[in-house]
Structures are given as structure tokens and as C-alpha cells.
Amino acid sequence: MNESLDLYRRTFLGEGSLEQPIEKIMNQFMAGNQKILVNLKTLPNHKKCGVAATAIVCVLNDSESVFHLDYLCVNSEYRGNGIGSVFMTQFVIPHLNNHYGKHLTLECEERLMRWYNKLGAKTLSGVYSSRLGDLPAEYHLMCFLSSSSSASSENELTASQAQQVLFEVRRRFHGMSDYELIEKVIKNVNENEQEDMMQASGASATGEKSPSSPSLMNEEEEVVTMVYRWIKDTCI
């Protein structure tokens, strides 16, 4: 247990972090509100087994058909060897999806969404992305759906159910008692239109631009999305 929590500390508790302190995770675990799953292996350059990966999972009250993967930590000595993928696909996902018959949700930044997609997670549509306080990172809600009939009559997780999961995790486990819905404006440039405009303006095949092309390149489309910005009301 100490090794698992130390791996969590090294992975998530950097300067300015809003993640849970180790004492709170330990209290939640002892109260049965969190599960801690551990992958033990003989670490490189070590003679005894050590913690190669740890998953910390929230046991939800408001969404009884769902577990939430709050943290996934992989020992730095194993990174790049696929240990995270093996841990998830051979133990964490089947254990929670099949043994317990529950869906498994998680939040991640956009840069990790492709990795979780490859493991089988689905991006949930109709669910706003989320930010913690003024931190710039945006988190997207994804889900490993259980095939068990006990999880849901249609083996699906609706947008409203997913949003309920997000609210419980933010409020009950992370001490975020308030939020606001904000607009985020994205500047999008259509690459196909950009190329057509460059050709029409006389840009060469080598990529050389004509004097008029910069003004055309600056034509952008504004896309507005909605984001939950969660406000830390209490010390977590």
C-alpha cells in the first residue's frame, strides 16, 4: 500500500496540484469509498517485486452501475514497455466491467484520448468537458462500457448519467462544491479551404506564397464549445 501511494504521490502531487492528498485517499479507501488496484512485478534492477502500476477507483453512491477510474499511475521504470495497456486490458477493465458488472468512466486530457480509445473506451457525446479551477487543462469524460445486463438495461451510459458521475466525483472526492458553465472560443482554419485560397492567389507548388496570401490565411472560423469550470470551495 505504501508503495502504491508513493507512486501516486510521485505521479500527481506536484507543485500547484489540485489532486487529492494521500491522507484523503487513504481515508476514502479505509471507508470503502475507493478501490486501489495494484500490478506487482519484479522491477528492472531490483531483486524483489515492486509496484509497476496502480489504479485508484471511486465507488459511487449516486451512480450504482458505474465505477470511476480516478487515477492511473505507471512506475517510471516501466514506462514505454506497455505495462499500462496490459494492466488496464488484462486486469482493471475486465475486473470492473465483468466481475462487478459495472461501467468504468474516466476523465483525461485530449492528448490521452486516443490511447484510451485503443483500449476500448468510448468518448461520451453530449457531456461537457471540464476544467479544475483556473488550470488550463481540459478533461474529457470517457467510458469502458460493461456488457453485463446488471449495469444497464441497454448496456449504455446516457449523457445525463455520465454528467451525474462527473458531478459526484468532483464534489464528493475532489471537494469541488461549485461550478460554472463557460464558453470557450476556438479559432479553426479549414485546411482544404486554406489550400484552395492559396492556389487561387497564385501560391507556387513549392509552398511559396504570393503577397496576397497572408490575408487569406488569416480567415478563420470561430467555434464555441461549453466547458464546466469547477471551483475548489474546500481544501481537498
Q: Contact 4/34 with Cβ under 8 angstroms?
A: no
Query: Of 3.40.630.30, 3.40.50.1000, 1.20.120.80, 3.40.50.720, which CATH number belongs to 2-174?
Result: 3.40.630.30
Q: What is the pLDDT of residues 40-98, one digit of tens each?
A: 887 767 677 888 899 999 999 999 899 999 999 998 887 777 889 999 999 999 999 99
Provide the pLDDT for residue 190. 56
Bridge partners (DSSP) of residue 20 are none
Bridge partners (DSSP) of residue 49 are 42
Residue 103 above 70 pLDDT?
A: yes
Q: Which residue has the cell 471551483?
A: 231
For 116, the enclosing helix (H) or strand (E) is helix 110-119
Q: At what angle do helices 22-30 and 2-12 cross, to 10 degrees?
A: 140
Mode of pairing for the β-strands spanning 129-132 and 176-188: unpaired
- Say how far apart CA 189 and CA 117 lie, in whole Å: 26
* Other Cβ atoms closer than 10 A to 149: 10
- Say how far apart CA 117 and CA 112 lie, in whole Å: 9
Bridge partners (DSSP) of residue 184 are 225
Q: How many Cα atoms sit within 13 Å of 230 on the Cβ side?
A: 24
Provide the pLDDT for residue 198. 45
For 122, the enclosing helix (H) or strand (E) is strand 122-123
Q: Which residue has the cell 451510459?
A: 157
- Say how far apart CA 151 and CA 230 lie, in whole Å: 28
In the predicted model, what is the mean pLDDT of residues 26-38?
A: 94
Q: What is the pLDDT of residues 183-229, one digit of tens each?
A: 877 666 555 554 544 444 343 333 443 344 444 445 567 777 888 88
Residue 158 above 50 pLDDT?
A: yes
Provide the pLDDT for residue 151. 54
Instruction: Provide the residue type at 112 as one letter.
Output: L
Domain residue spans in the chain? Answer: 2-174, 182-225
- Say how far apart CA 88 and CA 94 lie, in whole Å: 8
Q: Which residue has the higher pLDDT, 219 or 165?
A: 165
pTM of the prediction?
0.79
In the predicted model, what is the mean pLDDT of residues 3-24?
A: 86
Output DSSP code: residue 21.
Answer: P
